[in-house]
Homo-oligomer: A and B are copies of this chain.
Amino acid sequence: MKKNAVSTITVGLIQMACSPKPEQNLKQAIESIRAASEKGAQIICLPELFLTPYFCQTEDTQNFALAETLSGPTSETLSKLAQELEVVLIVPLFEKRAPGIYHNTALVIDADGSIAGCYRKMHIPDDPCFFEKYYFTPGDTGFKSFPTRYGRVGVLICWDQWFPEAARLTTLSGAQFLFYPTAIGYQDEDTNVSQQQISAWETIQKSHAISNGIFLGSVNRVGRENALNFWGRSFICNPFGNTIGQAENEPQIVIAQCHLPEIETVRQNWPFLRDRRVDAYQGLTKLYLDDDE
């Protein structure tokens, strides 16, 4: 039985390719979770919408059939697995909340199999090949974190990663870990452009770890699906933004040990949270400040 290690927590990221068959993806996820657990992982995160291909490349009502309710078969199966292995799982789902209301969601399942929390993707992209505004109602959960056996876990999803507001609010809610289940790839075969995109993607997320003093794991899928080449490169970084585990662009489990006291050490040494000018941040709740001219 796994002890609740108070100071060092092992995190596992499941970077996987997603086949057209949900049952096959679930099987692959379960096998990978077992493998990660055997390697000592205590908190394990799956990629965004891991059960399906990235269906948002087209707008098609038939894809809504891929959605399931939060208390559906996937969460039931993975709750049992979490309980058996005594691991915390972050489980992204295409959530059917009500007829006509679907979300891009992630469940946090605690190590006893109970649901620790649910996050619904707040920032929804819409670009060619990423037609998410068609499928997903923007979330109404706000930015939260959830206490689990192995620490306080915050989850944001993919496009959220470009918004420092989301990382900040999740941190201020007390998160020690911030996970980004992701499905990001390039269409452009220009290696220079795709390398710049990958670099920007790593930079923005590491910046959240740095400015907030938090452990951060980003979990991408891999493989080509129609027009998109998902670039993998899943990584874990410490509260100083240093990479402590990273995958290449093939199916891979990333494991890293997170020494939790680093959070406070980093925040004491570079005390950004001490000095926020909350008296001067009201404008952040506006889209643009053209009225202030």
Contact = CB atoms under 8 A, between A and B. Distances in A.
Number of copies: 2
Contact of A284 (B122, B168, B210): B168
Contacts of A270: 127, 162
B196 A164 contact: no
B164 A207 contact: yes
Given A275-B125, A281-B284, A207 B203 contact: yes
A242 interface: yes
Contacts of A281: 165, 169, 284-285
Interface in A239-293: 240-242, 269-273, 275-290, 292
Nearest to A266: B200
A244 to B, nearest CB: 12
A241 B272 contact: no
A286 B275 contact: no
A135 interface: no
A142 to B, nearest CB: 5
- Tell me whether chain A's interface is mostly helix, strand or loop, or mixed: helix
A203 to B, nearest CB: 5
Interface in A169-202: 169, 172-174, 196, 199-200
A173 B293 CA distance: 8
A169 B278 CA distance: 12
A48 to B, nearest CB: 16
Contacts of A162: 210-211, 270, 272
Contacts of A284: 165, 168-169, 278, 281, 284-285
Nearest to A140: B280
Contacts of A273: 287-288
Contacts of A242: 196, 199
A127 B271 contact: yes
A35 interface: no
A122 B276 CA distance: 9
Given A162-B211, A207-B204, A285 B275 contact: no
Interface of A: 122-125, 127, 138, 142-143, 159, 162-166, 168-169, 172-174, 196, 199-200, 203-204, 206-208, 210-211, 240-242, 269-273, 275-290, 292
15 contacts: A123-B276, A123-B277, A124-B275, A127-B270, A142-B283, A162-B272, A164-B164, A165-B277, A169-B280, A173-B289, A203-B241, A276-B287, A278-B285, A279-B285, A281-B284
Which are the 8 A-B pairs with shortest beta-carbon distances?
Answer: A207-B207, A164-B164, A172-B289, A162-B272, A173-B289, A284-B284, A123-B275, A122-B277
